[in-house]
């Protein structure tokens, strides 16, 4: 059994804009749209063509930035980041973007993902005299870039990207250029858009919608975009590979109004719900979804099964997402504060409760209890994804098997643990058919957390020693 990891993985949101008179303001709003991807820290770096200007802090985007601070970030290009941390990985120094200054030029980086060989790279860098100021994977890339100082910056970035392994979406800003890179397998989402004459990149297209930008296309796996005053140029740093986009983007992380790899998230979740109704039918009176990420799947389940959909649970909008709280104690308390059952709807009813996933079991157990305390006669739990039985090394907070309930209990034992009358999961095949529409290089998902089939090599000796058996 794996021991509990302390502070390695993260799931974040990145945003960048080049060539806009209100770059800082647009980045602020873009990060607002991505706030669901990280609630513990935020930062913005701008460039006015001569210098980089940074402001970052701990907290939500509107807690970190005031109107005056936005006005103090001059320039026509900017990058921004929202993040959450696992336990032990917080601190101001790890909040991104990270800025690195030298006598000749400076660069700022922000990153969504996780590098599976970061520990080995850090050891090599330290052996060669590098002094690391953070525990973030992002700093490793900056050191690798600067180590190739004799090369033009674009070539130095390509060389650095060729040395790292894992999942990553990078945005790099200098005084006069922006570089955008996606890992060769495309594990993380990253889209390109236009706002007038400006170029915009973001983890999710919902950020484009908020600022009025037009979606252009996905950033391709292994692609490096170079953006400057002359326009945008596309190059590559890796040979084409079949895409394995993180399936949890569709299951949980992305907003329903976002399009991920050309597919609307809400529509995908509805298809998952319909497929779940086909695979795991049950006699019941109402279907309800756990707000917010399960609502779409619940609607799909209802449409396919013919069981009426009802709002059986109400979310307190002033409480953050429990899955991305950094400790078990906060997760437990968060669930208690977060949801309330609608007694007038569920009382005396057989309820099908649709949820997107079961990770630790904390949330499911509490919600089943809430529904039964409100008078539900039966609660049948249906999960719109397969059981998560393997750790994720690519940037999601499911870092060890020891904290995954499905890795340690059978389906029947899990049912007893959460107190449900029945429990069923969507199959891996059902999930994949709901998302992947064509057998092409551009289509494909990572389902390693469900199957153990990792799309990249995993380096046990290179990962933080807290992953030991």
Nearest one of 85, 244, 99, 83 to 172, comparing CA atoms: 99
User: Quick check: is 392 catalytic?
Assistant: no
Q: What is the CA radius of gyration of the chain?
A: 22
Nearest one of 391, 390, 466, 394 to 114, comparing CA atoms: 394
Asked if residues 75 and 23 have their Cβ atoms less than 8 Å apart, the reply is yes
Burial 186-222 (b: 16+ CB within 10 A, else e): bbbbbbbbebeebbbbbbbbbbbbbbebebeebbbbb
C-alpha distances (whole Å) from 201 to each of 4, 27, 191, 192, 468 are 35, 10, 6, 5, 37
| Tokens matching residue 372 | 């039964």
> What is the DSSP code (8-state) at residue 250?
I
Which stretches of 174-237 are assigned E, i.e. beta strand?
Answer: 178-182, 191-195, 198-202, 214-218, 223-228, 231-236
**H helical segments located in 42-136:** 61-64, 67-71, 118-127
Q: Is 161 buried (19+), middle (13-18) or exposed (0-12) by CB count in 10 A?
A: buried
Between CA 439 and CA 195 the distance in angstroms is 32
Known catalytic residues?
12
């Amino acid at each position: 059994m794996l021991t509990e990891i302390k502070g390695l993985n993260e799931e974040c949101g990145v945003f960048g804009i080049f060539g806009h008179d209100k770059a800082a303001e647009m980045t602020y709003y873009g990060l607002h749209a991505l706030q669901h991807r990280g609630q513990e820290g935020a930062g913005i770096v701008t460039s006015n063509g001569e210098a980089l200007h940074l402001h970052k802090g701990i907290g939500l985007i509107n807690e970190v930035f005031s109107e005056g601070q936005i006005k103090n970030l001059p320039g026509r290009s900017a990058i921004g980041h929202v993040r959450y941390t696992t336990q032990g990985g917080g601190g101001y120094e790890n909040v991104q973007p990270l800025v690195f200054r030298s006598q000749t030029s400076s660069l700022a980086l922000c990153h969504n993902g996780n590098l599976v060989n970061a520990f080995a790279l850090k050891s090599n860098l330290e052996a060669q005299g590098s002094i690391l100021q953070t525990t973030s994977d992002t700093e490793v890339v900056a050191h690798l870039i600067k180590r190739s100082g004799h090369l033009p910056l674009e070539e130095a970035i390509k060389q650095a990207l060729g040395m790292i392994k894992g999942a990553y979406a990078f945005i790099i800003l200098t005084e006069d250029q922006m570089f955008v890179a996606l890992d060769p397998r495309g594990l993380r989402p990253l889209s390109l858009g236009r706002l007038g004459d400006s170029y915009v990149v973001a983890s999710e297209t919902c950020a484009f919608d908020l600022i009025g930008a037009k979606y252009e296309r996905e950033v391709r796996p292994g692609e490096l975009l170079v953006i400057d005053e002359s326009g945008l140029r596309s190059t590559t740093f890796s040979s084409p590979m079949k895409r394995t986009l993180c399936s949890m983007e569709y299951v949980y992380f992305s907003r329903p109004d976002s399009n991920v790899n050309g597919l609307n998230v809400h529509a995908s979740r509805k298809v998952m719900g319909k497929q779940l109704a086909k695979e795991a039918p049950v006699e019941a009176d109402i279907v309800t979804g756990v707000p917010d990420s399960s609502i779409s799947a619940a609607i799909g389940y209802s449409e396919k099964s013919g069981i009426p959909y009802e709002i059986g649970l109400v979310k307190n909008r002033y409480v953050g997402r429990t899955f991305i709280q950094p400790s078990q104690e906060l997760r437990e308390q968060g669930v208690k504060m977060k949801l309330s059952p609608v007694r007038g709807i569920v009382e005396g009813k057989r309820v099908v409760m649709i949820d997107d996933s079961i990770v630790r079991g904390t949330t499911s157990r509490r919600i089943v209890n809430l529904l039964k305390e409100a008078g539900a006669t039966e609660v049948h739990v249906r999960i719109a994804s397969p059981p998560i039985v393997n750790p994720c090394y690519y940037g999601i907070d499911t870092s060890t098997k020891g904290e995954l309930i499905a890795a340690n209990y059978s389906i029947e034992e899990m049912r007893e643990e959460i107190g449900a009358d029945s429990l069923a999961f969507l199959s891996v095949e059902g999930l994949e058919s709901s998302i992947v529409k064509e057998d092409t290089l551009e289509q494909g998902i990572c389902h390693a957390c469900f199957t153990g089939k990792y799309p990249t090599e995993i380096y046990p000796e290179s990962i933080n020693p807290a992953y030991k058996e």
